[in-house]
Structure 1
Amino acid sequence: MPRETFTRRKWLAAVAGGLTAGCGGRAGGGETPTATATPPPDTTTPPPATTSSGSAGEIEDTMATGSTSFEQGSGTCALEADPIPDGTWPMPHHDPAGTNAAPAANGPTGFPLNERWTMSALEAQVTFPVADDNFVYLVAADPDSPPSVPTAAVLCHDPRRNGEIQWRYKIDAMPIGPPVAAAGMVYVPFGPRGDARVLAIDRTNGQLRNAYDLPGRFVGELGTAGTSLVMPSEDAYRVVDARTGEFCWSFAPNEVRRSERRDRKIRAAAVGDGVAYIGTGYPDGEPTTEIGHLYAVDPSIAGMRWHVPLSGPVGRIAVADGVVVATTGNGVAGFDPATGEALWTATADASVRPATLAVSGDTAVYGTRRTLHGLDVKAGTERWSLPFGVRGDVIFVGDVLYAVGRSDPTSQRILLAAVDAPSGKLRWQQEIYDPIVDVMAANGYLYSITDDGRLFAFTSV
């Protein structure tokens, strides 16, 4: 397979930009006059050198000398999973460690909740929001805007001014994933998955600073970890310097010796102690398979620490309390992060929702279409279960777990529920008449997005 590098595209002439005042400022009347995009600086990245994989554990001869699965670049960036600062949520669905555990300061923990403000992008699609300590960022897109040209806008909202838009950046393309806030930028992937483009937009004023190619077929979501920006394709976990865009390293599971290429498509990843834990399986939409793989990739040794074959494709990964937790088809398993030794396994009552895993303290929560489960992270034993079928992700805010779903799988009633994480007891729930699909907590608010183009911000009454 030819090696691919992370390069800048020459397509900026096609980008139309628009902005108001910087996110610290305020535009008169909330209008957003257009402005010319700022061309990014000319930078080039030398071709990376290939380095053989190393190993520090098990499992098969796939880690033999000569493997080309790890590719070293010229950039130097730290792969860190430090706790996120209070009030912020920089990447979609989870923090770098994959725990989906936000500090108590991030959102409301008293009940009932009250809708504080709403953003509407009627007849448009909206992405999952991310936030720094002051503002909220998301993308609203209309695939059918006239004259049959898709239009999207990266939006910066001030939550303390009832969601007022501070700036917007427009582009004639559809987003293929939500944004990430890293190194003073908002990074957003656009275009067809086989030819993705990543924009780096200045968070202070909404101006374009850089634009890059992402080789391979983009899947999943962008990620951030320390000074690293993760840009995954279907076949490679690619890491670049979030400050400069310089290529640091990549790992390609299908290049591991004796691999079965068709079942090693990247589906999930998380970071812990400078190591990337990468899960694979059959790509979504393909025929199912009972095979999955979990890799521990350590850039300090330019290769794998260990690799474990699994009985099902990986859905989500979290690293917490000295355990790597992974959902695999109809179960959850815990692994030793140093050796890959299986510490415990738990079988679910139905297929585990791939997007549902959260870990806080010594409790791991996952869900199926019928039940929410709380496990002991160290032992894998079940602490509690709740008849609540999740339809999106779940998130901790302190010791409160928020989830969207149904208490009865035969009912059409969609509920927003708050659960006491240590005990599994329901603290509050409310029927939701809007089609909420996901939740996030930051800036003291619980945010929810809907499939009809709205962003809600809730606080405690």
Structure 2
Amino acid sequence: MTRNKFPVTRRQALAVCVGATIGSFTLPREWFLSSPERIPQSATGSWPMERHDPARTGYAPESNGLTRKPNVSWQATIADKDEILSRLVCSDKTVYATSNDTLYAFTAATGSQRWQTSQFGTLPWTESSFRRTENSLQVRNGPTLGNKQLFVGSRNHLAAVDLTDGSAQWGRRTSGTSTVLRVGNTVYINNGDTAVAIDLQSGLERWKTSPTVGVYPYAYADGFIVGPAGDSDPSPVAAINALTGKREWTTPIKIKNPVSSIPTHRPNPCIVNGTIYYGSGPLYALTLTDGTVRWSHSIGATGVSLTPVSDGSAVYFVLDDSVRAVDAESGKLRWRVDLPALETPALIDGTLYVGLEHGIAALDSATGDEQFRVTLSETETVSSSPIIAGGTVYLALGQTLYALTDK
């Protein structure tokens, strides 16, 4: 069922009632902000955001994976043949997927559709209306799971969505959001060249940078938010303080094409054990605290969109119909497997899952040896990166979402 209504939270209702009661008196914005304490980034049996966590490791060590050829537990096909499922996250009970214009929720156990929504409406305390004449979300990033919320970025808006029915809790107008990063009780986005920290519960701003010191908040670890400094092409890499937005460092290393109109086509960093792995050719390892270069690894190309994942031992990425593993400490190539891989891998202990043109393959992460390969469709092309939760691998091909298990 499509949902387009707005729920009213106690915090929001109280804000409106108080405002009506006290007239022109203005309460401080801090009154509406939840405390910035850390909350768990992910629960066991979930894949809450792009590449699993704020550091964008793509690594779920707590998950049980599949090492032998799996079975299709279920498949769910959306009705709109013009839409393509492209981004997946999941809790322990629900899988969430987006297409260009719609957000979907499916029951993880059976694949039955719980709800879908393509329009959020309006609220008096949001910064602007979400209503679009063409009735379209125009999803550009996310979804990202939060504390009983789901965050979705569209072309000009960020919305917090209720997990139970898809209705919006709050929203903000932006001027081009290319990334959504959730850390604890804070959501970080870019608003053009400005980095903005937003309170998870209320949707109110904690801080924002000026365009001259902002970064695109691609990844987070140990108090640092890392990404390209501005939308120049190429762009230097920079880090800001997650609590204050203060610029911590900028490195002269330049990343080619850091901001594409299609978010999944941008180079993106991952951060493991105090090291940032990032590049568009070559691949760099940078020290998180000051941005110094530890090593660089030539990939035989420049201006490509590397989206690495890492377990701390090796860094894995897909490039030119191959999957490659580079030693995390030295930057030396461990192995390369020629495979028609199309999407960012997902990683658990010992196994790397890679989306192929018409299915998925599992590789031994230590050696690159193939553990299994499954063709899911002869006609549809893989359209999402795989995710892993609760012993199940989820993958989208065109309009169909697949759940793979060993049962």
Measure the CA separation in 1 of the matches of 2:171 and 2:231.
Answer: 30
Measure the CA separation in 2 of the matches of 1:322 and 1:265.
Answer: 19
In the TM superposition, residue 247 of structure 1 has moved relative to its aligned partner by 0.8
User: 1:391 aligns to what SS in structure 2?
Assistant: coil
Normalising to structure 2: TM-score of the pair? 0.79
Q: Counterpart in 2 of 1:308? A: 251
CA contact (8 A) 2:276 2:287 kept: yes
Measure the CA separation in 2 of the matches of 1:48 and 1:232.
Answer: 24
Measure the CA separation in 2 of the matches of 1:233 and 1:302.
Answer: 14
Q: Counterpart in 1 of 2:282? A: 331
User: 2:93 aligns to what SS in structure 1?
Assistant: coil
Alignment partner of 1:390 is 2:341: yes
Measure the CA separation in 1 of the matches of 2:215 and 2:249.
Answer: 18
1:116 is aligned with what amino acid?
S
CA contact (8 A) 2:67 2:362 kept: no
In the TM superposition, residue 249 of structure 1 has moved relative to its aligned partner by 2.1
Measure the CA separation in 2 of the matches of 1:234 and 1:376.
Answer: 35
Q: Counterpart in 2 of 1:211? A: 171
Task: Write out per-residue CA displacement over residues 220-262 of structure 1, whole angstroms, 9 at most, x where no aligned residue.
Answer: x32211111122234122221112212112335x414xxxxxx
2:171 is aligned with what amino acid?
A
1:270 to 205, 212, 219: 219
Normalising to structure 1: TM-score of the pair? 0.71
Q: Which moved more, 1:350-359 or 1:303-312?
A: 350-359
Q: Which moved more, 1:33-42 or 1:200-209?
A: 33-42
1:164 to 98, 112, 117: 112
Q: Counterpart in 2 of 1:365? A: 316
Q: Counterpart in 2 of 1:126? A: 85
CA contact (8 A) 2:102 2:136 kept: no
Identity %: 17
Task: Write out per-residue CA displacement over residues 427-459 of structure 1, whole angstroms, 9 at most, x where no aligned residue.
Answer: 222344231122222233211112x32211111
4+ residue segments displaced more than 4 Å: 33-36, 46-49, 72-83, 280-283
Task: Write out per-residue CA displacement over residues 139-185 of structure 1, whole angstroms, 9 at most, x where no aligned residue.
Answer: 356xxxxxxxxxx543322111x111233334221332332111211
Q: Counterpart in 1 of 2:237? A: 294
User: 1:424 aligns to what SS in structure 2?
Assistant: coil
In the TM superposition, residue 414 of structure 1 has moved relative to its aligned partner by 4.3
CA contact (8 A) 1:358 1:394 kept: yes
In the TM superposition, residue 395 of structure 1 has moved relative to its aligned partner by 1.0
Alignment partner of 1:181 is 2:145: yes
Alignment partner of 1:459 is 2:402: no
1:272 is aligned with what amino acid?
A
Task: Write out per-residue CA displacement over residues 87-142 of structure 1, whole angstroms, 9 at most, x where no aligned residue.
Answer: 1111134420011112352x53231011111111141232412112221122356x
CA contact (8 A) 1:370 1:387 kept: yes
CA contact (8 A) 1:39 1:208 kept: no
Alpha-carbon spacing, 1:240–1:295, altered in 2? closer, same or farther (3 Å): same
| Total equivalences in the alignment | 366
Q: Counterpart in 2 of 1:346? A: 297
CA contact (8 A) 1:135 1:156 kept: yes
Measure the CA separation in 1 of the matches of 2:229 and 2:359.
Answer: 32
Measure the CA separation in 2 of the matches of 1:269 and 1:455.
Answer: 26
The runs of 5 or more residues in structure 1 that have no matched partner are 1-31, 50-71, 142-151, 257-263, 284-288, 406-412
Q: Following superposition of structure 1 onto structure 2, how do residues 71-150 of structure 1 map, counting pairs within 5 Å?
A: 78=36, 84-105=42-63, 108-122=65-79, 123=81, 124-140=83-99
Measure the CA separation in 2 of the matches of 1:218 and 1:459.
Answer: 35
Task: Write out per-residue CA displacement over residues 194-237 of structure 1, whole angstroms, 9 at most, x where no aligned residue.
Answer: xx1223222134433222222x2222x32211111122234122
Measure the CA separation in 2 of the matches of 1:38 and 1:352.
Answer: 45
CA contact (8 A) 1:137 1:156 kept: yes
Measure the CA separation in 2 of the matches of 1:116 and 1:200.
Answer: 31
CA RMSD of aligned residues (A): 3.2
In the TM superposition, residue 326 of structure 1 has moved relative to its aligned partner by 0.9
Alpha-carbon spacing, 1:301–1:436, altered in 2? closer, same or farther (3 Å): closer
User: 1:436 aligns to what SS in structure 2?
Assistant: coil
Task: Write out per-residue CA displacement over residues 382-405 of structure 1, whole angstroms, 9 at most, x where no aligned residue.
Answer: 221111243211110232111124
In the TM superposition, residue 421 of structure 1 has moved relative to its aligned partner by 1.1
Greater fraction of residues in strand = 1
Alignment partner of 1:255 is 2:255: no
Alpha-carbon spacing, 1:274–1:389, altered in 2? closer, same or farther (3 Å): same
User: 1:125 aligns to what SS in structure 2?
Assistant: coil
1:386 is aligned with what amino acid?
V
Alignment partner of 1:38 is 2:7: yes
CA contact (8 A) 1:322 1:337 kept: yes
Measure the CA separation in 1 of the matches of 2:406 and 2:300.
Answer: 34
Alpha-carbon spacing, 1:90–1:34, altered in 2? closer, same or farther (3 Å): closer
In the TM superposition, residue 311 of structure 1 has moved relative to its aligned partner by 3.7
1:435 to 358, 364, 381: 381
